[in-house]
Structures are given as structure tokens and as C-alpha cells.
């Protein structure tokens, strides 16, 4: 069965993968495997790469000098795993319920339905399914209508087919990444003005950015991290993530802007690696 590529991934750019630094690699990796249904794709002495159907989504690494990031540090708010459809979201929920996964929240965002939890080291996770794009409402300024309403988990659970769950469905991807940053104007400047993402929505203390009218590929908030400075080396949590461009012209434009603004970047693994204003690593690739 071929799954249709999620709308999020057909846009000019999208989030490809995320890299977390952890203190207890076996513990965290087994959580993503058993609770989220990711599969190990490769292993090295210092880490593992997990994914779906051979596609890498999440890298986990550890090291001797790793130290636990304070809760108010800049870094990850959550990595959001996008299910191919609502049925897969329901199937995952059923699995979670039967395996005592602790959920931290569930919201209907109008554009999507989302369930929130954390891994054993407190890295935030969102599991979500988008509503069909033609049902989204857009404002005149091009921003998308989003809200945070209560999600009826029981109804979602009841809609799950009564079959065995054998991990994340093919086509599951990272739909977006949500960051903790020190301040919003600086995030707007970096993500919108430098990288060329469009501001799709604003909440108090948060901005949502995307390409190609997705609701958001990257979000940034200051809810726990107002005034946070640059991340220190070896901190746990989000080390870096990848923004992949389907359209090489958009990538070239972003890279030209970095050079023009004299933002330090380096060629790495066939992409361009840089840090955002808070020291979160970012690879731009096509």
C-alpha cells in the first residue's frame, strides 16, 4: 500500500529530522521504539538513528560530558510526529492507552488533532494528524486559523480499528518542530526574515512559521524560556534539526541571505549547517 505523502512534506521546505542529546541512551531509545513505534535504523558507539520504513526521523546521541539542560533553557518544546491520517492517530492512541503511556494533553487545533507527552528525559513529543488542508481557514493576511480546544480522546480511541499495532505507519514523518527560545522578535527575524519562512500564526508568547501555507513547520515560544541565552555545549535536549528544501531555489536564497548577513555557516553532510540565535543547530539541505 502506498501512502500519500503528507501535505506538510510537499511544501517548499519541511522539517526532515531531529537530533536529541540524552543521558541514558538505552532508556530513551527503548521508549521511542516501544511507545512510539520507531525502529532502529543505525547504531554507533555514541548513538542511534530511529525512523519509520527506513527513513531516519530521530537521532539520539550521548557522551561523557553530557549535562542536563535546565527546564528554562532554549531548545526543544516538542518534536511533532505527523501521522498519515486520523485512523493512524487513533491506532497509536489505542496502543498508548493499552501500554500506560502517560499523556500530558490533547488538543483540537482546528487544522490538526494533537496528543502530547514526554520521553523519559522530559523531551516533549506531539503525536498528531492534520485535518484535510481544504478544511483549513485562512485570514486575509494569509495567516491560518488555529485554536486550542479540548480533543475528545474517547471518541478518537473508539474510532480505532480493532487490530494489532506494529509500530508507526509508513509515511509517518516529523510534521513540525516546536522550539523554546529567548524572545519572539528575534525568532521572527531569524525564521521569517533570514530563512524566509512565512509567519502563519501568533499566540501570546509564540510564533508559528511555515512554507507553502502549511500551518507550521517551525514554532517558537517563550512560555518556559523567556530571556534564555545560548545553549551550552553538551546540553541534553535538542542539539539540532534539519530543514529540507524541496525547491533548491528557496535553499539558495536562504543561504545567500546568511552570507549577506554574515551569519556563520559551514558546509556539512551535503547541506549548510548553522546555529539559530540560541545555539540550536540547524542544517539546511535540498
**Residue with more model confidence, 222 or 233:** 222
- All residues at 6 or more sequence positions from 79 whose CB lies less than 8 Å from its CB, including other chains: 18, 20, 58, 123, 124, 125, 126, 174, 177, 178, 238
How does 64-96 read in b/e, with b if 16+ C-beta sit within 10 Å? eebeebeeebbbbbbbbbbbbbbebbbbbbbbb
Is residue 1 very low, low, confident or very high in pLDDT (cuts 50, 70, 90)?
very low
User: Which strand (E) or helix (H) includes residue 176?
Assistant: strand 173-180
Provide the pairing of β-strand 237-245 with 281-285: parallel
pTM of the predicted structure, to 2 decimals: 0.96
* Rounded (5°) CA angle 275-194-243: 55
What domains sit in the chain, N to C, each tagged with a CATH number? 7-285 (3.10.180.10)
What does the pLDDT read at residue 3?
65
Q: Is the pLDDT of residue 247 over 90?
A: no
Strands laid side by side in the 281-285 sheet: 39-43, 47-52, 55-61, 13-21, 237-245, 281-285, 271-275, 265-268
C-alpha cell at 188: 521572527
pLDDT in the model for residue 172: 97
Q: What is the pLDDT of residues 54-103, one digit of tens each?
A: 999 999 999 999 999 999 999 999 999 999 999 999 999 999 999 999 99
Query: pLDDT class for 174, splitting at 50, 70, 90?
Result: very high
Average confidence (pLDDT) over 160-166: 91
- State the Cα–Cα distance between residues 48 and 158, nearest whole angstrom: 35
- 267/265 Cα distance (integer angstroms): 7
Mean pLDDT computed over 258-279? 94
Q: How far is Cα of residue 110 from the mean position of the Cα atoms in its chain?
A: 19
Residue with cell 512554507: 211
pLDDT for the residue numbered 270: 84
Q: What is the pLDDT of residues 197-213, one digit of tens each?
A: 999 999 999 999 999 99
Decide if pLDDT at 163 tops 70.
Answer: yes
Cell 493576511 sits on residue: 141
- pLDDT reported for residue 164: 86
Give me 240's grid cell.
Answer: 539540532
Give the other-Cβ count within 10 Å of 233's Cβ: 11
Q: What CA–CA distances, in Å, run from 283 to 18, 34, 236, 275?
A: 10, 28, 19, 9
User: Mean pLDDT, to the nearest integer, of 162-182?
Assistant: 95
Residue 139 pLDDT greater than 50, yes or no:
yes
- Position 2 scores a pLDDT of 52
The bridge status of strand 55-61 relative to strand 149-150 is unpaired
* For range 128-157, the mean pLDDT: 96
Amino acid at each position: 500500500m502506498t501512502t500519500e505523502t503528507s501535505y506538510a512534506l510537499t511544501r517548499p521546505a519541511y522539517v526532515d529530522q531531529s537530533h536529541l542529546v540524552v543521558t541514558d541512551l538505552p532508556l530513551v531509545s527503548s521508549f521511542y521504539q516501544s511507545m512510539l513505534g520507531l525502529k532502529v535504523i543505525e547504531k554507533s558507539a555514541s548513538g542511534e538513528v530511529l525512523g519509520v520504513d527506513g527513513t531516519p526521523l530521530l537521532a539520539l546521541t550521548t557522551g561523557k560530558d553530557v549535562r542536563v539542560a535546565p527546564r528554562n533553557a532554549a531548545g526543544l518544546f516538542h518534536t511533532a510526529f505527523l501521522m498519515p491520517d486520523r485512523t493512524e492517530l487513533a491506532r497509536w492512541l489505542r496502543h498508548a492507552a493499552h501500554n500506560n503511556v502517560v499523556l500530558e494533553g490533547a488538543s483540537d487545533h482546528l487544522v490538526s488533532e494533537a496528543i502530547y507527552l514526554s520521553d523519559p528525559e522530559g523531551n516533549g513529543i506531539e503525536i498528531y494528524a492534520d485535518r484535510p488542508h481544504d478544511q483549513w481557514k485562512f485570514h486575509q493576511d494569509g495567516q491560518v486559523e488555529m485554536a486550542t480546544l479540548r480533543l475528545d480522546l474517547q471518541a478518537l480511541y473508539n474510532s480505532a480499528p480493532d487490530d494489532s499495532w506494529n509500530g508507526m505507519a509508513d509515511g509517518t514523518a516529523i510534521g513540525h518542530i516546536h522550539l523554546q527560545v529567548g524572545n519572539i522578535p528575534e525568532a521572527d527575524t531569524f525564521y521569517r526574515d533570514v530563512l524566509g519562512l512565512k509567519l502563519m500564526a501568533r499566540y501570546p508568547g509564540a510564533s508559528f512559521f511555515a512554507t507553502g501555507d502549511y500551518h507550521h513547520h517551525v514554532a517558537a515560544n517563550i512560555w518556559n524560556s523567556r530571556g534564555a541565552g545560548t545553549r551550552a555545549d553538551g546540553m541534553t535536549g535538542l542539539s539540532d534539526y534539519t530543514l529540507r528544501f524541496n525547491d533548491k531555489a528557496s535553499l539558495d536564497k536562504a543561504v545567500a541571505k546568511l552570507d549577506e548577513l554574515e551569519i556563520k555557516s559551514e558546509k556539512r553532510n551535503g547541506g549548510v549547517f548553522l546555529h539559530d540565535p540560541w545555539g540550536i543547530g540547524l542544517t539546511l539541505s535540498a
